[in-house]
Amino acid sequence: MAIVSIVNRIVKRLKGDGYTIDPRVSGGYLIALLARRFIMFVRGKVVLIKHRGFLFVGRGVVLRARYQIHVGRGVTFDEGSFIDALSSGGVVLGDNVSLGKRSVIECSGSLSHLGKGIKVGNNVGLGRDCYYGCAGGIEIADNTIIGNYVSFHSENHITTSLEVPIRQQGVSHKGISIGNDCWIGAKVTVLDGVVLGNGCIVAAGAVLTGGVYEPFCIYGGVPAKMIKRRLAVKDKFL
């Protein structure tokens, strides 16, 4: 119980007072967890990127254009994650952001035209095995949850000509914006031009195409459509 109490104090310092470890978790498991996190913390001390507090870096993490990566306190890059921050805006992550195992952030699709990058707010969980294509710019607001196997594509190929191969017609960019306190389920695809309002839920496997999605609604399907509105909310939250 003493170990659980110590770990709870550490976790609350990193994640806030609302997070408590289940007392049924064994002391041995917690000791092993602390050992892994300590090793990740040591790696975070030597990655040479700008950060304001604790940074945890897992095994096999690849960071390119490190001078364009800026992170807040308590950020985690889990095992095998990959970030190429080469872009006009770089990669900006707020406090308590976690990038899941084997997830990829690519800020530029081509060296001929640098992308815009990605900006993520505080307390955001970016699930494992996700892809963030940030050429057109991606913004994710505070307290949002991104499930596993989600992909973001903030650019489109131009296809207006039948005489020129698609690969030679170039691309267009509108960018992607995800609101505060959203939950995006597993295997969702988010395409260029999406503006998702605050407090939205997106069902697993849905495809969000370009356009504005009203706040405080549940969306699902291919292409995604509104399934229903969430519980009534006051105007001040809209």
Structural domain tally of the chain? Answer: 2
Higher pLDDT, 8 or 144: 144
Give the per-residue pLDDT at 1. Answer: 53
What's the rounded Cα separation, in Å, for the pair 192 and 196? Answer: 12
User: Mean pLDDT lowest for which of 10-24, 89-103, 192-206?
Assistant: 10-24
Judge if 24 and 123 occupy the same domain: no
Q: Which residues pair with 69 in a beta bridge?
A: 91
Judge if 77 and 170 occupy the same domain: yes
> For 68-85, what is the mean pLDDT?
95
Q: Which residues pair with 13 in a beta bridge?
A: none
Q: What is the 3-state secondary structure (H, E, C) of 168-189?
A: HCCEECCCEEECCCCEECCCCE
Instruction: Write the CATH number for 169.
Output: 2.160.10.10
Percent of the chain with pLDDT over 90: 62
Give the per-residue pLDDT at 8. Answer: 64
Judge if 36 and 54 occupy the same domain: no
Give the per-residue pLDDT at 14. Answer: 60
Give the per-residue pLDDT at 2. Answer: 62
| Contact assessment for residue 217 and residue 229, using Cβ atoms and an 8 Å cutoff | yes
Which residue in this structure is represented by tokens 């970030």? Answer: 83
What's the rounded Cα separation, in Å, for the pair 203 and 113? Answer: 34
Q: Are strands 201-202 and 183-184 parallel, antiparallel or unpaired?
A: parallel
Which residue in this structure is represented by tokens 């990740």? Answer: 40
Judge if 89 and 169 occupy the same domain: yes
Judge if 215 and 121 occupy the same domain: yes
What's the whole-number average pLDDT of the chain?
88
Which DSSP category does 197 fall into?
P
Residue-wise pLDDT for 1-54, tens only, equals 566 666 666 665 665 556 677 777 777 887 787 888 888 888 888 776 777 778
pLDDT at 192 over 70: yes
Judge if 94 and 181 occupy the same domain: yes
Judge if 40 and 127 occupy the same domain: no
Judge if 41 and 59 occupy the same domain: no
What's the rounded Cα separation, in Å, for the pair 214 and 236? Answer: 15
What's the rounded Cα separation, in Å, for the pair 95 and 123? Answer: 6
What's the rounded Cα separation, in Å, for the pair 107 and 95? Answer: 20
Which DSSP category does 38 fall into?
H
Judge if 113 and 35 occupy the same domain: no
Say whether the peptide bond before residue 23 is cis (omega within 30 degrees of 0): no
Judge if 139 and 159 occupy the same domain: yes
Give the per-residue pLDDT at 82. Answer: 97
**Token pair recorded at residue 225:** 């459509």
- What range defines the domain where residue 30 resides? 1-46
Angle among Cα 152, 158, 163 to the nearest 5 degrees reads: 150
Categorize the per-residue pLDDT at 234 as very low, low, confident or very high, splitting at 50, 70 and 90.
very low
Judge if 129 and 190 occupy the same domain: yes
Going by C-alpha positions, the residue among 215, 219, 217, 221 that lies closest to residue 235 is 215
- Laid out side by side, the sheet with 138-140 consists of 50-51, 69-71, 91-93, 118-120, 138-140, 176-178, 194-196, 211-213
Residue-wise pLDDT for 170-191, tens only, equals 887 899 999 999 999 999 999 9
Percent of the chain with pLDDT over 70: 89
Judge if 138 and 98 occupy the same domain: yes
